[in-house]
A and B are shown apart, each in its own frame.
Chain A
Amino acid sequence: MGMSLQTFSTASEAQAALGASGVRYMGGGTLVVRAVNEGDLSFSTIVRTTDPALSAIETSDAGVRVGASVTMGMVLAHPGLSYLAPAARAVGGPAVRNMATVGGNLFAPAPYGDFTVALLALDAKVSVSGSGEMALEAFLQERDSLGASALVTSVTFAAPATDSFRFLKVSRVHPKGAAVLTIAADIREEAGSVVQARIALGCMADRAIRTHAAEAALVGRPRTKEGIAPALTAALEGIDPPTDAIASAWYRREVLPVHLGRLLLG
């Protein structure tokens, strides 16, 4: 059976077209067209939209809104999003980054989804056409049950305080390679101790997760070797990382405290 592409000029028309069976939405297509090339028969129609609203980046004192069709390259080129540049640069090589969208990254399975890890540590909200806004953490849990007609239009978040945001992707192939693990953290400190912590992990489950146990163990303590020790232990609580061609679950568990420690102390 042949494949066909339908292009709509508005997101709402594209969303309406997603209701039919055998339809898959395409952002940048790095995963969708790869699936076509590999002979995926679970869909026969690809839907996309050229709606300019989905390609917009708005930064203001009220917060940041990044359209779902914004690519990693566009994030890198935006002077107001420099704190997200390390996460955008972590996604593939230069050509992939010109194609890979923020919306598509929310659906990318481990070991992909590096940018989503950063958004999770920023406590981003996801706008889903027809369903309104939801917290990214809840979206990631419910993503598979939202159905094929769920169209993400944008993500919103508050810009982090200066120097509070940290990002680390660990991979074996440099400068580009799929992740052994990815960590993003937004840590606020006052008078020498942590007052608020959000820590997100990639490749520690089939999608990005928050480690609330490590966050709680960090608050009220100084960011020193001794101060972060309970958080490093807590980060492993209930963690069940995948085994894939990049690393085993055992290896990922072993190195998580090492890299989390380096990120928190760095």
Chain B
Amino acid sequence: MAKVPVQFTLNGSERAEFVESGSTLLAALRDKMGDTSPKGGCLQGTCGACTVMVDGELRLSCLTLAETCNDAQIRTTAGLANGEVLHPLQRAFEDAFAAQCGFCTPGMIMAAAALLERNPNPDRADVVEAISGNVCRCTGYEPIIQAVLLAARANSTSAA
């Protein structure tokens, strides 16, 4: 199979790899670059477990070809914490018991991060819409919705 070079910024670090032409960003991140925070659930676009940000926009890494990401800024949940200090969303997910098996969590957190970056004071309906492409088989969604609202409140309190 033809190998092609891809290079992009992953969570602030320059990364370059040879990947198989036509392979997905999910495969490049997990198998080549060792970032296993995006998960491969359905590989059909339906579960959202593979959700990442490409140039500030939410994308499904299972449906994105790695080669189309040359020179892009890629962000995953693995890059959210600041050293030992968790991102407010990560902390809120922990506090609100929004992760059970945890498989959906990295995708949920990226979807929530995309929302809070655009809209720091979302209401419940905004949160439901923002995570509507992400499936959770464990929590029943309510703790996740509460966690995102909690993180938004924590952000506005720390900004005040």
Contact = CB atoms under 8 A, between A and B. Distances in A.
B13 interface: no
B56 to A, nearest CB: 10
Interface stretch (B17-25, B72-80, B83-91, B147-155): B17-25
A133 B133 CA distance: 35
Interface string B50-64: 010000011110111
B156 interface: no
A94 B24 CA distance: 19
B2 A34 contact: no
A111 interface: no
A95 B115 CA distance: 11
A2 interface: yes
Contacts of A3: 20-23
Nearest to B61: A95
A4 B21 contact: yes
B134 interface: yes
Contacts of A94: 58, 111, 114, 129-130, 132-133
Interface in A42-99: 46, 48, 73, 92-96, 98-99
B22 A46 contact: yes
A29 interface: yes
A95 B22 contact: no
Contacts, number: 86
B24 A175 contact: no
Nearest to B22: A3
A41 interface: no
A5 B63 contact: no
A51 to B, nearest CB: 14
Nearest to B40: A37
A29 B133 contact: no
Contacts of B51: 95
A46 B65 contact: yes
Contacts of B2: 2, 4
B63 to A, nearest CB: 4
Interface stretch (B28-36, B41-49, B92-100): B41-49
Given A4-B21, A29-B65, A46-B22, A175 B45 contact: no
A95 B44 contact: no
A93 B108 CA distance: 12
Interface residues of B, number: 32
Interface residues of A, number: 25
A98 B1 CA distance: 30
Contact of A2 (B1, B65, B130): B1
Nearest to A3: B22
Interface string B129-147: 1111110000000000000
Interface string A10-37: 0000000000000000100110011011
Contact of B48 (A4, A46, A48, A95): A95
Contacts of B114: 94
A117 B68 CA distance: 29
A35 B130 CA distance: 26
Nearest to A71: B57
A29 B130 contact: no
B21 A96 contact: no
Nearest to B3: A2
Contacts of B4: 5
Nearest to A33: B63
B63 A99 contact: yes
11 contacts: A2-B2, A7-B67, A7-B68, A29-B63, A29-B65, A33-B24, A34-B44, A94-B132, A98-B57, A175-B129, A176-B133
